[in-house]
Structure formats: C-alpha cells, structure tokens
A and B are shown apart, each in its own frame.
Chain A
Amino acid sequence: MNINFNRFLIIRYMVQLLVMVFIAKLIGMSLWFFLPKEGVQNHVKTDFVMPYMRYSIDDFKLKASQIKATVDRANALSIESIILKAIYRMEKESFIVVAPKNNKVKSKTIGIGEVFEGYTLKKVFKDYVVFERSYKQYRLYITKPKIDKRWKNVQPNPEPIEEDVRRISSGEVKQAISNPSEIWKNIGLKPHMSEGKPNGFKVSFVRKGTVFEALGLKVGDIIQGVNNKELKNNAQAFSAYQELKNAKALKLSILRSKTPMELEYEIY
C-alpha cells in the first residue's frame, strides 16, 4: 500500500513536471515565432584607394613625336566632343549644362550621376567638372564666353580654387597626431549636422603656427572627406586618423562657404 502511495506521488510529480515543461516550451515557441530568424551581418567594404604617386613627365623621357605616334586617332574617345556651357553649384545638389560640340544648340541639364554621351558626371567644381567613362576620369572645363572688349574690365576676377598639391613633412604629421589629446588644443572640430544627419566636422578654431594652419584649414570649414573616404561620423574620423599614420598623401574634401573644395598635400 505504502509502495503504491509513493508510486502515485512520483507519477503526480512527473505529470506536474511534464505540464511545466509543456508550458515552458509553449512560451519558448511563442517567443521564437516573434523573434528574427537571421542575424545581422556587417559587410565591411574595403574602400580601395590608389596609392599616391607623383610623376614628372621628364621621368618618361618621351619625345613629342613618340607620344603622337601612340595616339589612335580613329578610336580615341575624347571629351572634346562635349562642351560645358554652365555650372550651377549648390551645397546639396549641383547641375551642369552640356551640349555636343557639333550641335551646340542641343543643350542638356544633368546632375551628378547622370550620363551624357556615355560619360557619367562624377564631380562638379567651380570651373570644371569630372566625368567618368570605362573607369577613366575626364575633366571638362567650362567654355569661356567670348568677351566683348568693351566690357572686359567689368569681368570679376574669379577666386582661385586651392587645388595645387602642397607638401608637408611626415615628421610634422606624426608629431601632430602622436598625442591625441594635444590635437584638440590645436584644432577644434565639431560634428556638423545637416537636416538631422551628420554631414562632416566643422572647424571651430585653428591654432596659429600648427600643422593644421599649414594645411590651410580655416574656421568654418566643414571637413567631409579624407583621402576619398567619407568623414561624417566618429568611426570614420577614427579610421581616417589611423590611416594618416602611414599615409603618403592627404586629400581633404571640405565645404568652404558652401563651396566644395579639395585640399591636396604630399607627405614627404
């Protein structure tokens, strides 16, 4: 009788345990139904940037006659087939007016990323634009209007865009970035937001006599890229800081008075 009673108790506890297992499994399954079935993968793109090289035409020792001989005139796709009539540059969007050289009346307005005559518009600068075709870049300068000599003195003197490659010593760069806490004594950078989204880093001050002044940075400049890579958040800033340690060149893409500019430096 006593054995039967113990058996009854064991069966009772077993049933209770099974009920609890069932309830727990049911809770687990209901949660599984609502939870995602796949994880998140971070596809880290490795942005390839061509190493900086500076060549002198003298290095190639080519004579003019030799150069002429290598040009296949029949198949050469020249950007000379297009004329650039006008450039409209704004902070967010830029447009240009282009036309085929053989039909100047047939003008077309295109924006960045749009294609004209097989050339894709990549960048818009103050007096020229950059097209891309078959992974090659082409510059197209604005067609200078024929100036009426009577009005020549009225033409404003355009402000030159700083595009010349400046030189800066690697020692200066290393000294400037070796002590991170010292950087903030020499330059002030604040995250810049545009329509609630990070849009670069705004220069709030530049200490005189420092490498940052030598770089040509001015108060109010918005740094948006370093060496062809975006610079819009802290992670990208840190990544750029890492790469600067071994960089041979530095290219800063900045926005100065709403005008996009590129400052280029050779680190020797």
Chain B
Amino acid sequence: MSSHAEPLAFKANARRALADRDLDTALGRMTSGLVPNRARAVAALPEFEALRDRARELKDHVLVNLDHYLERFETNCLASGGQVHWCPTAEDARRIVLEVCRAAGARTVTKSKSMIAEELGLNGFLEANGIRPIETDLGEYIVQLADEPPSHIIAPAVHKTKEQISELFHRHHARYGLSQRQTEPRALVAEARQVLRQKFLDADVGITGANFLIAESGSSVMVTNEGNGDLTQTLPRVHVVIASIEKVVATLEDATTILRLLSRSATGQEFSAYTTITTGSKRPEDADGPDEFHVILLDNGRSALIGSEFQDILRCIRCGACMNHCPVYRSVGGHAYGAVYVGPMGAVLSPALIGIERGLHLPNASSFCGRCESVCPMRIPLPKLMRYWRERAFDSGAAPAAERWALRAWAWAACRPRLYAQGARLAARLLRLLGGSRGRIGRLWLAGAWTATRELPAPEGRTFQERWHAERERSDG
C-alpha cells in the first residue's frame, strides 16, 4: 500500500466540467437519447430479465474456471492458425504488440476501439517507437485529433459538439486537400469515411479489441456499428486482438446469450450492425484476410480480482449502460474521472487497476442511487462494490483522516442512545432558534457545503422521542 499516492484531481475536474455548457448539452443529449432507447428495447423483449440471470450465471461459471477456459481457448486458437500471447502486465502487452509490429515492418497501424489499448497507453507507446497508430472508430478518431482521451466507453466523443468536430476536421483534413469546412453531421461522417478509407488500405497491422473470446473455438467476437473494426482486421497483413482475460466465454451459445443483452443495453439496438466472429488467420483458399492472427491475453490486475469481493466486476461486458444512466456521470462527463474506465463500472474497476489511493474519489462520488445496478445487463452490484472500496479506504487510511475521525466520533455517540438523544435535543433547540420565524437557516458554521446552495430547514424545536414520551406519559399517568 502506497501512502504517498495522491488521489486523482476529481473534484477540480468535476468543478470545471460542471461549468462547461457545451458538455452539459452533449451529456443531456446522451441521456435523453440512450436512456429511452434502452427502455424501449428492454420493453420489447419479454425474456430480457431471464437473459440477465442466465448471463450472470454463465459468466460466473467461467470466472471460477478461468484457467481451464483460457487453456481451451489457446488450444483452439492455435489449432485454427492463430498465435496467443499471455501478458501478465501492461508492459508485457506493449512489448508484444511492438514486436509483432516490428516483425511485420509496420509503419502505420489501424485500430478499432479497444479500451484495453487505452489502458495500455498503446498509442503513445507506438508513436514513441516510430509507428503511427490511426484510430478508425469515428469517435476515437475525433478524440485522437483533439489529443484527448475518450470520455465514454462506447461513445468516445460524446462530449464534443458538432461545431467542435467541424473545427477539428477543418484543421486536420486540410493536408488531404479538403479545404471546405463541413458543418452537418452527415457531411462530417462522409469526410471521415473518405479520409480514413486510404488509411485502412495502407495499414500494415490492424489492432482490434474483443468483446468476447470463445473458448470452444478459439475465436474472438467484435461488436461494432461502423464497419471500421472489420476493415481494420481484414485489410492488413497482420491482425492483433487485444483482450483482457475475463473476456472468455465457453461456447458460441453462451456468447449469444450475452450478445442478446449487449446492444440493447448500450444503444437500444436489438443487435449491432456488425458482430464478427474471427477464428484464426487467412485459410489457404481464402480470397482475402490477414496472414497472421495474434491474440494478446492481458491480465494486468484481473486475476487479483478473482476470488476477491470485487470478482463481480469481471462480468462487465463494456456496454456503457451504467454510465448512460448515472446522474454523476451525467453531471461531469467521463474526463472528470481522470481514469481509463469511467462511470459506475470505472468507479469499481479503476481503483483495482490504479489503486484506491489514486482512485479514491471514484467510488466515493456516488449517491448510491442504484440506477447503474438496475440497468447492468450482467447484474453487477455496482453500489455494493463501491462500498467495498470505501471500506478498503477506511481501513487502510486512504480515506481522509479528518473524515474518519468525525465519523468514528459520531458513531461513538450513536452507540450510546441516551447521549445521542441528548445531543439531538440540543441541536433541535439550537437550530430552531437559528431558523427563527422563517423556519430555515441560510448560513451555518460547519455546514458550508450544504448552505452554499441550499437553505437548511430548521427543526421543529423538540425531538420526536422527547415529545412522544412526554405526551404518552401524560396520557398514561
């Protein structure tokens, strides 16, 4: 445990985000679109709740047998001509990707969306080693141009307005001879399609993420809507899949159960435009496809979660429903979290990856409203897991000392009901006085965080317990 790590600057980021009107507009658009879309899709599928139960069961089964299923995955992947690289740490994974790229003589690499690649800081690493990574998912392409991290796991540029995107394209696409500024989304998409088309064709290596790995066939499954993932993994000579180890499912049928939940939860679609099951490299008789198929299995802290109180987070399928429905995410957006994984699932996963000292605010900046858990297709008990992080922080000293002592002092009093009741009687009288005839308090020492934006309603003046017992004694006696 490091007692020197500072928590990420969540509060300052949040303050900035709250003042950003464009961000507020963008996030409002997100919730007003994606929330009813999911609700509609769920209402249209009577079996949805039963599927959530099945999905949880089959994933839990895999997690407690993960070693076995990873071995089976490897066997079957190798049998279909793929190569499997086991990477315990982020550094191992970066090294392997670089080795594969160097062996392929790669100058440019196309990438489709991969949160693992974000976790590895892969783009910066490749650039530092003289290889140009090109994001092809439109949202990732946009944030790459803006030199920003993605702010949402399925809609990376959700925080950007079309004016901001128009400006980005105008500035960066001039070098391709595209001097006319486009402003409408349709034209912007067409321009991105045009610019990226040649990059797809030129790339030497294509790197994709994987939504699932199927043990029985050694396949990877990729769920997208744009087609960039498929172009990324079909055109280059070498295809690299980066997946964390908990992505494994046992069979095609098990993957199908989860696929029935994924798009409905993410965007309200019944199925994504492109769901691709990739098994090995090009067969000798194939007309196209890459010559090499590599799968990078990344641990980077997942195995430590197995068997722990946080194991349930490994069921996450990265649909984004939790953050789409989270009022905290809605307020501050993804960048405020300062971590790769944001929103409620990030509040649980990020401290596991970066440590609770640095990730302290993430599980704390929650009102435990429970909407995340209510929409999670895999029934992950997110608030409970955030509470476990708070317990770890409390016990380890990561939580601020002043808060801990105040709480313990309060609890000490609460364990003594007569004393607590006396304290309540005192507070009731005092605050009632301060409230005066208006019945509320506008400013109160030590309550600045409340009274900065809210009146504090004054108590009635005597506590319930004292009045109850006085009145009941009077009527009994």
A and B are partners in one complex rather than unrelated chains: no
